[in-house]
Structure 1
Amino acid sequence: MSSPSSPAKPPTRTPTRGRPPKLDPDRTIATALDLLNEAGLDALTMRRLAEAMGVQAGALYRYFATKQDLLTAMAERMLADRDTAAPEGAGQGWDEELAGLARALRAALLRHRDGARVFAGTYSTGVNTLGFAEALIGTLREAGFNSGDAAQAMLAVVSFTLGHTLEEQAALSGEAPADPERLRQAVTESAFPHLTAAVPVIADADFNAHFEFGLRLLVDGLRALER
């Protein structure tokens, strides 16, 4: 994912004369995602969304009572373009199926600017979100894990993937870029010998490698619970 440029103000759509533009949930969500990608989450307001759609702000509340309701619908839409079934590859083990689902979630969030921030704190009961959870829990239950462990594992995978992607998108946004050199200067071998030895890895911006390492730890931990 490339670093987005400075937030640009979305063009204002001037309402046309005559028949009011059609307003429906699907178009509202799609326009909200467009604005998100253009300007980021902080700039996404109900007023700006209404302007982009050529309607009065109050009209949006017909479908979304609060901005949080809108964010939940946006989070649900983010998962629409991923396969809710287990990843391709007949005969692969539960570990690869689980890892594939985690990677698919991360990819879905990375497709949208501030995608992880939008997704965090939402609890959609839409078919895409529930389908993802069903696939992950089902993969583990079919492998012999009990329902409780499978549910806890699903929560752990989602929390890890979401947290990692939040940090990744923050670093890539350019708004709060990581500064490896500042870290290197702050860590002295006399005061922090162990941290000094680890700085090359900590300061490395290879987010794929960091994600895969953490994911492997989760999978290895689950193997200890395998029946």
Structure 2
Amino acid sequence: MSSDLPPSRRRPTHRKGRATLTRESVGRAALDFLGDHRPAELTMRSLAAALGVSPRALYNYVEDRRDLITVAAEIFEADWRLPPLDPAPGRWPESLRAMCRDLRAHYRRHPGMTTLALAENVTAARHPVMLRNVDALIGFFAGLGLPLPDAYRACMESIRLVVGFVEFQDSPYDRPPAHLGPADTAPLPPWLTPDGADELPHLSRLAADMPDGTGSPDEFFEFSLDVLVGGIAARLPDAEPDAGPDAEGGQWSP
């Protein structure tokens, strides 16, 4: 059967050799910009320059800088998919660790996104994909036997651990601020020296006992995951009073 309707026209993806803009492409460009620049450097003018267009062109797709950040934050949330989680006894600790490692990698690909969204008062977890991720993570903790309110708290604590670690621990190593030298981001902080043993006995001992530093960010993160898993294990209905890391590798075995 023929139709009298004219064929639909697709918007060209390129014009004069340059990609055409959409609201999503502008948001993704902002995410890419954050991968190479600091959050404060993201402005309508700087992004337009990076895209090779005039700032006025961006206003056809986003209202202002806050709207730009909102779009970027929504794309950022939607791009992460929750890995499979296994609540089975004996398997859930590594499943939780794997999820946290994956989320950490996602945040490290777009450094500063969380801090920028908070500074601009962009509501967190507003995208349907992120809401489904949060709901599934709550369900994972509920499947371990935690009451629903505690399952929600465990979900939020897991996310906060990852986000906080990326913002405060990973960022200085991934992209050292210009005003810091190599010594300032070394594994052992420069202010941690054996001097002043009387005033700072434990820090002084630490400097003497660990001359090569206190560990890489990855080692710190694994320690944090052990603490997270251990705390959750201690709250499970069948938790042993003396549950803790096993003797072989520091891994929790609830």
Query: TM-score, structure 2 length as denominator?
Result: 0.68
- How big is the shift at 1:64? 3.9
- Are 2:99 and 1:109 equivalent residues in the alignment? no
**Deviates most, 134-143 or 67-76:** 67-76
State the identity as a percent. 27
Which sections of structure 2, spanning at least 5 residues, go unmatched?
1-14, 238-254
Deviations, residues 97-149 of structure 1 (Å, cap 9, x unaligned): 22222111101011234355346565131133223312321111122211100
* CA root-mean-square deviation: 3.3
> In the alignment, which residue of structure 2 is the partner of 1:144?
145
Q: Retained in 1: the 8 A contact 2:108–2:166?
A: yes
> In the alignment, which residue of structure 1 is the partner of 2:8?
none
Q: Distance in 1 between matches of 2:215 and 2:61?
A: 41
> In the alignment, which residue of structure 2 is the partner of 1:22?
20
Aligned residues: 212
> In the alignment, which residue of structure 2 is the partner of 1:189?
197
- Are 2:49 and 1:51 equivalent residues in the alignment? yes
- How big is the shift at 1:220? 0.8
**Deviates most, 60-69 or 93-102:** 60-69
Shift in CA distance, 56/36, structure 1 to aligned 2, threshold 3 Å: same
- How big is the shift at 1:61? 4.7
Superposition map of 1:192-211 within 5 A: 192-199=200-207, 200=210, 203-211=213-221
Residue type matched to 2:214 in 1? D
> In the alignment, which residue of structure 1 is the partner of 2:133?
132
Q: Distance in 1 between matches of 2:203 and 2:28?
A: 45
- How big is the shift at 1:207? 0.6
Q: Distance in 2 between matches of 1:145 and 1:41?
A: 38
Q: Retained in 1: the 8 A contact 2:38–2:112?
A: yes
Shift in CA distance, 118/102, structure 1 to aligned 2, threshold 3 Å: farther
Q: Distance in 2 between matches of 1:128 and 1:100?
A: 19
Correspondence for 1:226 among 220, 236, 253: 236
Q: Distance in 2 between matches of 1:94 and 1:137?
A: 13
Q: Larger Rg: 1 or 2?
A: 2
Residue type matched to 2:216 in 1? D
> In the alignment, which residue of structure 2 is the partner of 1:215?
225
Query: TM-score, structure 1 length as denominator?
Result: 0.75
Shift in CA distance, 116/196, structure 1 to aligned 2, threshold 3 Å: farther
Q: Distance in 2 between matches of 1:206 and 1:120?
A: 28
- How big is the shift at 1:178? 2.2
Q: Distance in 2 between matches of 1:96 and 1:60?
A: 44
Q: Distance in 1 between matches of 2:66 and 2:77?
A: 17
Which sections of structure 1, spanning at least 5 residues, go unmatched?
1-16
> In the alignment, which residue of structure 2 is the partner of 1:73?
71
Q: Retained in 1: the 8 A contact 2:86–2:140?
A: no
Shift in CA distance, 72/174, structure 1 to aligned 2, threshold 3 Å: same
Tell me the SS of whatever aligns to 1:224.
Answer: helix
Q: Distance in 2 between matches of 1:97 and 1:196?
A: 38
Q: Distance in 2 between matches of 1:164 and 1:201?
A: 24
Q: Distance in 2 between matches of 1:150 and 1:164?
A: 21
